[in-house]
A and B are shown apart, each in its own frame.
Chain A
């Protein structure tokens, strides 16, 4: 209807612009949804056929996509998750409590508070590769305080490693015996000593001066004889608590680095959890004569625990997908001979495996990469569902 101030045409114009815009919005939203669908569909099409139980439980085999699997990568990812959670959660929740519960009245301390809060928001935006660099310097090389680990030199400080010498006897068997001093490079076999053969039997190793002096007709004896002056090779049996300094390119260093990456997320999520606790509970606790820390410990923390847990899972699901810091610290590991036996080992993880496979020339690995992506997405889905489940169950409990 026309009025004094607008002609019918301009009003219709405005209305049509409005409806065009609505349509545009819908189209754009449709585009977004379609992009996601396209993304997921392409992954499933590429990799769906290559998913199998064999794939899940096998390990990577060089140049052989059909036989390769991601078992070590799955184990490694989960272990990395747990490790970085252990590192990040205590400090993260502590910082969140510090920021939310203890607001100081002093002007300078309030400035410190504001600075810490700003800093944490900023750290959340630092590229993960920069954390990788920090991790390499701080955890792998430990600021070059210790001499670096090279293949020929054992680390300067380590526990849990049992060094032994091994050598091949004249009969072809490989025997081993204890190594008293791992740094002694001049050790040669020149005395008979107690050794263990490949079957595990203990025997006395016999030494002869020349090869010609060896008992040629007795294969058993031959298997227990070596020529004098041979240099044995050194290897280490590492127990589950094997540990050395500097950390070097190990799971521990990677876990600590990932802990740094997720720390800001844990802090921000924990702050949200603490803010969600109603102020009336704190008032009630303080009114009962609790000190501030007692009020936090007895009332606020239990009430915020489900929020903490969902925050932790959120952070862990971010850590599971991070490839850059792990790549920097541990390198592009695809498979290890022994698996994850101790903290100082290397291990493949899912995102790094995907990255390496995607860049591999062998086309078969492209499909495997897609299959690994499916596994990764399923893992993320499971983690997020657990988070939602915890949250809804505890929300019922808190009433």
Chain B
């Protein structure tokens, strides 16, 4: 697609940076909520090109990273059970549970398969009726409609050997949790364009008003991010606190209503534990009672394991809320690397620690820039 290549146009990016430099008169802290955005910002070095004082704080936007260890341990126990085909997106495979990971369960003979789509997991269930096929349903609002549709598909097909282990999380309650923290330094947010493609942005409007923070619905290309940052900084400089949409080409205010209906049909809002943060009330989705027969946690209640999280030097909680940078972690790059992750943010390419490591970050450049100016 031609215009997408243009969203990577370096000359336009330079002009946006110049404009940002002209608009910004004081330091501002912006949080990008989505791990995909973190990945682009860090990989392209955009966070380091920003005018002094404009600092990006990397939020809890990686679903892999916030999936609680209890869910991972339960997934591992189910995956190791006989007769089970355990299916998952690839980036969950190396996430460390208390003692092992899906990759290690697979190496030990477990039938763990990577799928591109939850629909592929349903297909496997249809093709292998003598197996119990379980899909690890994690993600934000972006992924929830797909996982809900997979349940509806399995229901239509009358499959009794398909179930999902659900650990869905919702963005707005995470934002208010971050904003309620007395140590919160975030002045404005770039919200995740793909989450908003599904949900729209009406639920962000009360947050903007109540906390007096600008929220800009932002896409994932370098130009999108720069424009989103510029829009947020403009609002801050002008004393406005609104929800604005940078990602007009894909997001409408009401979002995708069919997708929202599908979510509401299959899931209900529930409390959810966020790894490294703790329980956030009404911040997740669980299967609605009508679809409980597709709930792997119920189906495999007897194989589920619950182990207390071992003490670790991982500071993922502070990374996820933006309080610390990966380079502040004593294990970063030494005892903790993408091949041997101690914590989830080092596992997924969308995790802040992995994004920093892949980009070869060795010192905290943004903090240094921020302290030099203020």
> Are A and B part of the same complex?
no
**Residues of chain B having any CB pair with chain A under 8 Å:** none
